[in-house]
Amino acid sequence: MIKTCVIVGASHAGVNCAFALRNYGWSGKIILLDAAPHLPYAKPPLSKTFLTDQCEPTEIKNKSAYAQQDIDLRLGSRVLEIDSDNHTVSLEDAGVIFFDFLVLAPGANAVIPPIEGVHSSHVYYLRTLSDALKIKKATINNEKDKFLIIGAGYVGLEIAASLRKLQKSVVIVEREERILSRVTSEITSSYFYDLHTKNGVEIFCDKEVIRISKNAKQSSVLCADGTVFHADSIIVGVGAIPQTHLAEQAGLDIDKGILIDQNCRTSNSKIFAIGDCTRFKHPLYKNFIRIESIQNAVDQAKIAANNIAGNVVDYDSLPWFWSDQYEVKLQMAGLPVDYDNLIMRKKSDEEVSIWYLKNDQIIAVDAINNPRAYMLGMKLIKSKSQVEPKKIKDIETPLSPTSFLKEV
């Protein structure tokens, strides 16, 4: 009998899983469902070039590619229920689809903080193409518009950089004591704080927003310490929360995300989960994490596809990320967690790398306009080699696979 694999969510993870299934020998049916009406698109440009340039969203695959690979892409198809016992998914239009295997790739939603007035029409988020179009429309209403961004994570900073390229006035308010506090070190935070202030962004930390209100002309943002900010448009970027409602309804194990094993399999052997919605024990860092990145989505898509096609493959990918702000490219390899030594290697103000070590092994690197440091960091993290910290700091030491190694 012809088997069927149903994929819920035409995200980067979902789309790549569908095509990977064909590459790895799956000859059965592939049904890719998504509630959105438009072709699947890439999300990273939404906070960058899509806001600043006159361009269309970047499609992950062109329309003809799905037909060529015999992938049944059903747009505008919202899944209401999963019956894990009978292996069916029920759609909003009353349709029911049987599956032999199911892949959940619903992604994550923007966090909506408990702020009074946060649901007002003049408050924007950035998670989807629809969100980006609303922000883009707001940028062309008035050349002198002032934007206020709540949250100084990578997405908030990327939006700020894009708005400054459009000559907009930008203010960022952050609840924590420094920007990027949950994702990187003080050194990297300081670098990007200086970068944004030099480019005209006003940044205020230790500011917890408690109310948003609007009069005929502007919006007002009230902070817990009594500080008030005024702006024409407000953008909230305080994180993302995994979409787990279908997994919960299907009886899968959930803990701050859909729990998966090294094969991307959930607590139900016929159901896999991939991408931003998942939480798993990383083989290198030995703790449970949830990674929001295109790289992780694509890696997990390939792992799930391999295992569904009958090829037993375990997840062993090294996390990596990137962020473009102004003319600066930040490339991050590994996770800066539980380190005991932090080293900055600075060739110039424009070319910097920050190295995170534990027991004289590199566990992560932040490379700023420095692709060689990024690539070397990837190799050294994977090799788990012992390194000499003083060699990393010495700018005269060449960036090569052996130059940082500890002498035996």
pLDDT of residue 102: 98
Per-chain mean pLDDT for the chain: 95
Residues 229 and 252 reside in one and the same domain: no
Q: Is residue 232 part of a domain?
A: yes
For residues 194 and 213, state if they share a domain.
yes
**What was the pLDDT predicted at 214?**
87
CA 243 to chain CA centroid, Å, is 14
Tokens at 164, concatenated: 């400054």
Per-residue confidence (pLDDT) for residue 143, from 0 to 100: 65
Pairwise CA distance, residues 6 & 118, whole Å: 36
Domain-ending residue, one of 196, 211, 236: 236
For the residues 55-61, what does the mean pLDDT come to? 90
Q: How far apart are the first and last CA of the chain?
A: 60
Tell how many helices (H) and how many strands (E) occur in the chain.
10, 26
% of residues, the chain, pLDDT over 70: 99
pLDDT in tens, 277-316: 999 999 989 899 999 999 999 999 999 999 999 999 999 9
pLDDT at residue 140 greater than cutoff 90: no
State yes or no: pLDDT of 408 exceeds 80: no
Residues 389-402: tens digit of each pLDDT:
999 999 999 999 89
My answer on whether 78 and 102 are in the same domain is yes
Residues 131 and 177 in one domain: yes
* Averaged pLDDT, 331-338: 95
The answer to pTM > 0.85 is yes
Give 305-323 pLDDT, tens digit per residue: 999 999 999 999 999 999 9
pLDDT score, position 66: 98
Residue 376 has pLDDT above 90, yes or no: yes
**113, pLDDT greater than 90:** yes
Same-domain pairing of 265 and 291: yes
| Domain count for the chain | 3
Q: What is the DSSP letter of 293?
A: S
What is the rounded CA–CA span in Å between residue 392 and residue 104? 42
- Tell which of 219, 236, 253 closes a domain: 236
Looking at residue 142, its pLDDT comes to 67
Asked if residue 318 belongs to a domain, the reply is no
Cross-strand partners of 203: 172
The answer on 231 and 189 residing in a single domain is yes
pLDDT at 242: 97
Residues 267 and 210 in one domain: no
CATH number of the domain bearing residue 376: 3.30.390.30
Whether the pLDDT of residue 218 is over 90: the answer is no
Residue range 106-128: mean pLDDT, rounded: 93
User: Looking at residues 143-155, what average pLDDT do you find?
Assistant: 91
pLDDT at 74: 97
CATH number, position 70: 3.50.50.60
Instruction: Assess whether pLDDT exceeds 80 at residue 237.
Output: yes
Domain that holds residue 22: 4-41+60-108+242-308
354 touches 341 (CB < 8 A): no
Which residues make beta-bridge pairs with 326? none
Beta-carbon contacts of 385 under 8 Å, excluding residues fewer than 6 positions away, are: 361, 362, 404, 405, 406
pLDDT at 342: 97
